[in-house]
Structure 1
Amino acid sequence: MLNDDQLNSYHKHGYCVIENFKNLAQCQLLQQRAKQIVNQFSAADISIFSTREQQRNADDYFLSSGDKIRCFFEEEAIDEKGNITVDKDLAINKLGHAMHQYDATFRHFSTDQKIQKICRQIGFKDPRLLQSMYIFKQPRIGGVVDIHQDSTFLYTEPMSVVGFWFALEDATLENGCLWGMPGGQKTPLEKIMKRKKNGLGIKFQQLADNQYQEQDFVPLPVKAGTLIMFDGRFPHFSKANRSAKTRHAYTLHIIEGQAQYPEYNWLQREDKQEFPSFEQLLAMDAL
């Protein structure tokens, strides 16, 4: 549960920071499992992940990953000929986007009773676990993530997505911690990313021009085990990691099940199943 200060921060500033939400053993277990997934991954299918507008890779490998566990490469880990330039375990940008459902270790981490209680506390009636991402933020090549609002990519009507960002390692100014704009959740949603009607690739629909200024953002360095929770309209970004250290983090996105989830959203389940509730995920472990 959030204390009064944390709840007030979430409503006033659009985010709150909860230290020691996970213990180091839980963080290390998730890191170990992520490494196993990467080691089992075949590099035959390469999809380079970027959030720089249309540079964001929108090939079928990405668009069909909503109900799967897939690896995505850092842009700087692949040369012009498509060859991996660093060790594979240092070349992956992220895992996505359904570890919370289809991997037991991630599922256990994601269905924490504390997360469920927070969802109820901030007003969810029917919380649904939409997406999970494991972000590596690799040393020296960990890419910039430009200023964005999560509702751009995970839009519902009314808007409902909340991001749960777990630091699995210390996130510092040197290795690319989050930066956020306090109160920025009160700004309009700037754009929506949509699938093109032919299903090939994505496009952005511009809704506003928020003209963000970097001086309006504050750094959010945190220790491993910390949860940063933020509203879907909260503008945030992270700088490149040019340090010698990784900055592993796990992000879980939750939406309101009673909200409308448009067919034009990029994340669609190929199996046509509904997005799972906490109860449905917990039942999988009971089988």
Structure 2
Amino acid sequence: MSVLSPEQLQRWRQDGYLIITDFYTSEDTQEMLNEARRLLKEFKLEGHPLTTFKTEVDGGHVGDDYFLGSNDKIRYFLETSSLSPATQTSPAKLLVSPERSINKIGHALAPLNPVFRRHTLECAKISQLAIDLGEHDDPRVLQSMIICKQPRIGGPVPTHNDSTFLYTDPPSAVGAWVALEECTTQNGCLSFLPGSHKTARISTRFVRAPEGGTTFEPVPGVEPNEEKWDEMDGWVEAPVRPGTLVLIHGSVMHRSPPNPSDSSRLIYTFHMIEGKAKYDERNWLQPTREMPFPSLLRG
């Protein structure tokens, strides 16, 4: 039985994103939220390399071995503002509790965590959703993670599209973003530029740098976008309630502001790519022989 109506599919193709309220039941959403909170409480700082998750707003991207080796693990990445600056005489120190310091937990939650596996890879409704969308012949799941937006320190996510970071040839990324808590205009809900997926070109890709770390490189034969997306009219905020699933086309422009409020904004997200598309060794996130990107339709 189809999950998406013809009207929803039309909206998806027109806007490049689709909000599906109550996709998950309140019980399933609460189970995922409880598991996310358990993972946060279990975080121990001892032995952690203090890897923070950075964006262009912070002046660069994370690229250490802890980050690049997270393809087949569940790892914790800190919020930049949760740490004091390191000096020659003093190492960086947490400014908040370890539980409150986390920006995200990933990137192999769906394969490795039983709760998130059940609500992703073993979820018939998700498999049917992928079939209804019709974007992939062989949808593969990758980069599954919890994103926290911690109260008062959760940082902004600048304007971007997902196929830049999960590049395939041809581009095929689709994000599935699940609200585990209320996502409001006060605590950092998503915003979209509807229809931008029709004109945005994937002209750069996020890759492993030859000298180590990560960088962006041009996609051969694709002219860079000249649009100043942030300055364009038509941005739409997307506050959603728990249990909502937001589908995000790999080319649509989206962003989220910082969280200055006292309320956290925990979400779970995973991405799908076309298993038949080219996904090469330059991409920052790499499958392994022991853990290839799992297929939603092949068990």
- Give the TM-score range, shorter chain: over 0.9
Identify the range of structure 1 (206-215 vs 166-175) with the bigger mean alpha-carbon deviation: 206-215
Residues 174, 271 of structure 2: 8 Å contact kept? yes
Aligned to 2:56: 52
TM-aligned CA deviation for residue 203 of structure 1: 1.1
1:167 and 2:179 correspond: yes
Aligned to 1:278: 296
TM-aligned CA deviation for residue 114 of structure 1: 1.4
Aligned to 2:89: none
Aligned to 1:285: none
Identify which of 41, 44, 54 aligns with 1:42.
44
Residues 155, 192 of structure 1: 8 Å contact kept? yes
Identify which of 178, 195, 209 aligns with 1:196.
209
Identify the range of structure 1 (206-215 vs 163-172) with the bigger mean alpha-carbon deviation: 206-215
Query: Any residues of structure 2 matched to 1:78-227 within 5 Å, and which?
Result: 78-81=83-86, 82-111=92-121, 112-123=123-134, 124-186=136-198, 187-198=200-211, 200-206=212-218, 207-212=224-229, 213=231, 215-227=233-245
Compute the TM-score of the two structures, normalised by the length of structure 1.
Answer: 0.93
2-side partners of 1:73 and 1:8: how far apart?
38
The alignment yields a C-alpha RMSD, in angstroms, of 1.6
2:146 partner SS:
strand
1-side partners of 2:174 and 2:140: how far apart?
11
Residues 64, 270 of structure 1: 8 Å contact kept? no
Aligned to 1:248: 266
Structure 1 residues 238, 190: CA separation in 2 closer, same or farther (over 3 Å shift)?
farther
Unaligned runs of 5+ in 1: 283-287
Residues 138, 296 of structure 2: 8 Å contact kept? no
1:36 partner SS:
helix
Q: How many residues align?
A: 280
CA deviation string 1:257-281 (max 9, x = no partner): 111102111001355642111356x
The amino acid across from 2:95 in the alignment is T
TM-aligned CA deviation for residue 197 of structure 1: 2.1
CA deviation string 1:179-200 (max 9, x = no partner): 00100101212421111124x1
Residues 182, 240 of structure 2: 8 Å contact kept? yes
TM-aligned CA deviation for residue 158 of structure 1: 1.1
1:116 partner SS:
helix
Residues 164, 227 of structure 1: 8 Å contact kept? yes
Unaligned runs of 5+ in 2: 87-91, 219-223
2:30 partner SS:
helix
1:27 partner SS:
helix
TM-aligned CA deviation for residue 88 of structure 1: 1.2
The amino acid across from 1:188 in the alignment is R
CA deviation string 1:128-168 (max 9, x = no partner): 11120101110000000000000010000111110001111
2-side partners of 1:166 and 1:132: how far apart?
11
Identify which of 66, 83, 87 aligns with 1:61.
66
1:55 partner SS:
coil
Compute the TM-score of the two structures, normalised by the length of structure 2.
Answer: 0.89
